[in-house]
Amino acid sequence: MPATMKPTINDIARLAGVSKKTVSRVINDSPLLTEETRDKVKLVIAEHGYVPNPQARALALGRNFLIALLHDNPNAQMILNMQQGILEGLRDTEFAMVVQPVNRSSPTLIEDMREFIVRQRLYGIVILPPISENDAVAKMCQEAGCRYVRMGSAVLDDTAHMVASNDRDAVRDATEYLIEQGHSRIAIVTGPQGFRSAAERLAGFEEALAEAKIKLPRSFRAQGEYTFDSGLAATEKLLDLSPRPTAIFASNDEMAAAVLYAARLRGLKVPEELSIIGFDDTPIASRVWPPLTTVRWPIVAMGRSAAHKLIAGAIAEVDTENEPSEFLSTLIRRGSVAPPKQ
């Protein structure tokens, strides 16, 4: 074979003394080989710098080398962070990512997702909440023969199909921090109805209050939609209360920024007259003034792990044996919390 020519799969088969199908099985990490044959073919591949044709591999596998990120989530920063994590997990592989928004309220949600998987010949999908909380979606993926990983604020599936965070525990810790500072009138801007993350964060908040034997009226809970505008509207209701809260926990940073904005409009000093805690630790948290105390949600790491779980069967170098499925969120203390003004 001339040195200037790129080797083909047929060249590798001839040089290794095996069939083209055997070389294909080595490339695709098929278990239907002896270690001796596998090592021999890999040695020839390495010696001659053979690079498999991704289109041919996709044809052999019956799938494209595409990982899809499916979402129906108003939190744009969360989606961007998840994309970053997935792309880090796919780096230096032949896999690519596509992003597909879906409508969780659609009566044809399952059929639409199935059609998308089949049309794109996806290798796997990462499913974000609240879609990930639908067991029918996971069942459809199994029936379609498509690998999947669900992201959630609590464990929803087995470790091979799940990356989860400890939202309830993290928010309980955040609320306990406010209580330790001396706050007893603590309000919450919750997340959207139907989101498991919103329910888990509210549960952590209520558990901390119950442990401290703090009882608050229902009016100290205002619903948001994980958006700035909804956080602003919710905060206005809370600050109209008499007596008003001395601290507010917002279920994401975008709404926490809205709490800060609403306080400034009313001339309230933060943290002297109002303490604020958010959730996510997005860039906005450290760029406002005062910088927000918030719960750091390890979304990038979760996205990276999800990608590794999906491609482990296709990339020999990716080992998911020690790949985590549960990720700890932690409280990041900055300048937006202080003891209540006496």
Residue 338 lies in a domain: no
What Cα–Cα distance (Å) separates residue 315 from each residue in 163, 312, 319?
Answer: 20, 5, 9
Task: State the pTM of this model.
Answer: 0.77
pLDDT in the model for residue 182: 97
| CA-based torsion, 300, 302, 306, 308: positive or negative | positive
Q: Indicate if the pLDDT at residue 223 is higher than 70.
A: yes
**Among 12, 129, 147, which Cα is nearest to 66's?**
147
Predicted confidence band at 313 (pLDDT cuts at 50, 70, 90)?
low
User: Domain range spanning residue 212?
Assistant: 167-297
Tens digits of residue pLDDT in 278-296? 999 988 899 999 999 999 9
pLDDT in the model for residue 188: 98
Q: Indicate if the pLDDT at residue 327 is higher than 90.
A: yes
Mean pLDDT, the chain, as a whole number?
88
Coil, strand or helix: which one is 148? strand
Residue 138 contacts residue 161 (beta carbons within 8 Å): yes
We report the CATH number of the domain holding residue 43 as: 1.10.260.40
Single-letter amino acid, residue 66: L
pLDDT in the model for residue 59: 46
- Supply the DSSP string of 193-211, one letter for each residue: TT-HHHHHHHHHHHHHHHH
Question: Are 225 and 290 contained in the same domain?
Answer: yes
Question: Are 184 and 284 contained in the same domain?
Answer: yes
Question: Are 191 and 272 contained in the same domain?
Answer: yes
Question: Are 83 and 196 contained in the same domain?
Answer: no
Residue 161 lies in a domain: yes
Quick one: DSSP state of residue 252? S
